[in-house]
Every structure is written in C-alpha cells, then in structure tokens.
Amino acid sequence: MSEKTSINETIAWQDITPGGNIYSSGNSINFHTGDWRTNRPILALEKCSHCLLCVPVCPDSSIPIKDGKRQDFDYDHCKGCGICAKACPLNCISMIPEGSKEVE
C-alpha cells in the first residue's frame, strides 16, 4: 500500500495511504496555514529592539530568529492571531486587514 506523504485533492484512492496514515515526521511545514489569515502582522523593523518577547507567544512558531535577531514573519504559517502585536512592548507590530492596499 502507498506510503505517499505529499498528497493533494487530485489523489486517486489507489495512491492514498491506508486510513490517512502519515509515514514520516516533521511534515507539518508543508501545510500552509497562512491562507487562513484575515489580519496580517507588519513589523516595523527599525523600531524593533530584538527583545524576542514576541517569539515564545507565537502559537504557530512563525517568528524565525537568526543570530539572536528576529526575522520577518513566516507568512506561509502565520494565522494572523495578533498575540505578537499585544506582546510587543515597543508597539512595533501592527495588524492590518489581509489584502488591503497597505499590505503592498
């Protein structure tokens, strides 16, 4: 029986895994939850002190860190909950409606 881990809605029954079993680990990264978002966090990087208080409160691990400094949001997985914006002591994260002009 199939052990395919990457599937989409065109898959035939012959190719799907029994019972929907997933035969590998660490593959939730392939599931882009970013398109669930209605509000989008925008980081004003120039104001950010890299205190990193936003990082542990993010429920979707969507704030990457590199060399002790936070990077821009992982928009493939950020669901736009806004907890980071509340947690930021310097108010450098603002939430704007997804798809609004300001996004671009």
Partner 1 sequence: MSIRERLSGNEAIATAMKQINPDVVAAFPITPSTEIPQYFSKYIADGLVDTEFVPVESEHSAMSACVGSESAGARTMTATSSCGLALMHEILYIAASNRLPITLAVVNRALSGPININADHSDSMGSRDAGWIQIYSESNQEAYDNFIQAVRIAEHKDVRLPIMVCQDGFITSHAVENIELIEDDKVKEFVGEYNPKNYLLNNKQPMSIGPYDTPAYYMEHKRLQAEGMKNAKDVLLKVAKEFENMTGRKYDLFETYKLEDADTAIVVINSTAGTAKDAIDRLRKEGKKAGLLKIRLFRPFPAEEIAEALKHLKAIAVMDRCDSFSNQGGPLGADIKSALYGTENAPKLINYVYGIGGRDVRVENIIEVYDSLYEIIETGKTGETYRYLSVREREVE
The SS3 of residue 67 is coil
**Closest to 33 measured CA to CA, from 58, 55, 54, 57:** 58
Using the Cα atoms of residue 94, residue 99, residue 102 and residue 104 in order, give the sign of their dihedral: positive
> With the C-alpha atoms ordered 12, 13, 19, 21, is the resulting torsion angle positive or negative?
negative
Applying CB under 8 A, the span of 13-21, 39-47, 67-75, 81-89 interacting with partner 1 comes to 13-21
Instruction: Return the range that interacts with partner 1 (CB under 8 A); candidates 16-24, 51-59, 63-71, 79-87.
Output: 16-24
Q: Between 15 and 72, whose beta carbon lies closer to partner 1?
A: 15
Of the candidate residues 4, 6, 21, 57, the single one contacting partner 1 (CB under 8 A): 21
Query: Which range, of 23-31, 36-44, 62-70, 94-102, touches partner 1 by CB under 8 A?
Result: 23-31
